[in-house]
Structure 1
Amino acid sequence: MQARDAAATRARILGAAIAEFSAVGFSGARIDRIAEQSGTNKRMIYVYYGDKEGLFTATLHEVITKLVTAVALDPDDLAGYAGSMFDYLVDHPEALRIAAWRQLERPTAGPETTEIYAEKVAALPAAGEARPPTALPPTDLLVLVQGMAGAWLSTPVELLSHDGSDPRSPQRLATHRAALVEAVRRIVA
């Protein structure tokens, strides 16, 4: 029973930390708020995660690992990959926010994802290879596809709503997703 309570407490703390760090980054995050939101005391955060840096690292590990592994890369369907990555980011907005805060405040912190990205890049065709042929180096191609998948969620709302639509409505998201998939299809065609 004690282990289950400890696991539940750790999970509550991590959930509150994900919300806090994704909202305000490492520098803006407050352990007091995380403790309050998780329904625990600050001491338990320090017991389970060491310090704020340890909690941020655990948060990065949880969110970034899920982000880079959640959507399988099909090298023969990069357009489908882009659409699936977009869907994941819409469903998990904290992922893009945490990744951005990581780049801004702690670019070397978090999980080691070099191998995961190396596998994805190695699966892509080299420039000029068939499957599909492309003039883009694989690393650049993956950067562009992932960047395009997250662009809608990091673009100012004034631009997103310029056409008068609600940029978060299911219809508008579906329209943008279709445009994203078509754009990636054209890049690799």
Structure 2
Amino acid sequence: MPIDADDLPGYAGRLHDAAAQHPQVMRFLAWYALERAERPAPEIVARSMDEKIAAIEAAQQRGTVTSDTPAGEILALVLTLANMWEHHTEDVSHLVTDAQRRTIITDAVRRLVTPHEPARG
């Protein structure tokens, strides 16, 4: 999924939608994580993550994403939020509807990445 660092809430929403539409991909990724264990990520995965971090850093420099949090941490949080419902069983999945899940994710990412206005005093 191509990242749009100037619209991280939309990016998270699209990731969520893709996971919901293709649950087999999420199962594959879970299996991949188990098999890979503590080994370093393959070069192609590491490069993809580096490119996403660079895109977020550029958005931070443009002022469209907060600079309060390092870009790598923002990426990790966005990816986790986007896929959080896919990793839970019915014990928590039933708490909200499918439509609510996307809104919860995009709202949380928006709050996470929106730059704060300086206090006036």
TM-score bracket relative to the smaller structure: 0.7 to 0.9
The two structures have a TM-score, normalised by structure 1, of: 0.53
Q: 1:92 aligns with which of 10, 15, 22?
A: 22
Secondary structure of 1:174's partner? helix
The residue that corresponds to 1:150 in the other structure is 83
Is the 8 Å Cα contact of residues 56 and 65 (structure 2) preserved in structure 1? no
Shift of the alpha carbon at 1:116? 1.5
In our comparison, the structure showing a higher alpha carbon Rg is: 1
Q: 1:187 aligns with which of 71, 96, 112?
A: 112
The structure showing larger relative contact order (alpha-carbon pairs under 8 Å, at least 6 residues apart) is 2
The residue that corresponds to 2:100 in the other structure is 175
> Could you list the per-position Cα deviations for residues 111-153 of structure 1 after superposition, in whole angstroms to 9, with x for gaps in the alignment?
7322211111101027x74222231111111111011111111
Total equivalences in the alignment: 110
CA–CA separation in structure 1 for the residues paired with 2:107 and 2:35: 34
> Could you list the per-position Cα deviations for residues 23-47 of structure 1 after superposition, in whole angstroms to 9, with x for gaps in the alignment?
xxxxxxxxxxxxxxxxxxxxxxxxx
CA–CA separation in structure 2 for the residues paired with 1:90 and 1:180: 13
Shift of the alpha carbon at 1:99? 1.2
Q: 1:112 aligns with which of 41, 44, 68?
A: 44
CA–CA separation in structure 2 for the residues paired with 1:81 and 1:97: 21
Code of the aligned partner of 1:94: Q
Question: Could you list the runs of 5+ residues in structure 2 that have no partner in the other structure?
Answer: 115-121
Percent identical among aligned pairs is: 33
The alignment's C-alpha RMSD in Å is: 2.1
The residue that corresponds to 1:24 in the other structure is none
Question: Could you list the runs of 5+ residues in structure 1 that have no partner in the other structure?
Answer: 1-70, 164-171
- Residue correspondence of structure 1 range 28-177 to structure 2 within 5 A: 71-107=1-37, 108=39, 112-125=44-57, 129=61, 130-162=63-95, 172-177=97-102
The 3 A distance-change label for structure 1 pair 110 and 175 is same
Secondary structure of 2:6's partner? coil
Secondary structure of 2:5's partner? coil
The two structures have a TM-score, normalised by structure 2, of: 0.79
Code of the aligned partner of 2:105: L
Shift of the alpha carbon at 1:177? 0.2
Is the 8 Å Cα contact of residues 125 and 131 (structure 1) preserved in structure 2? no
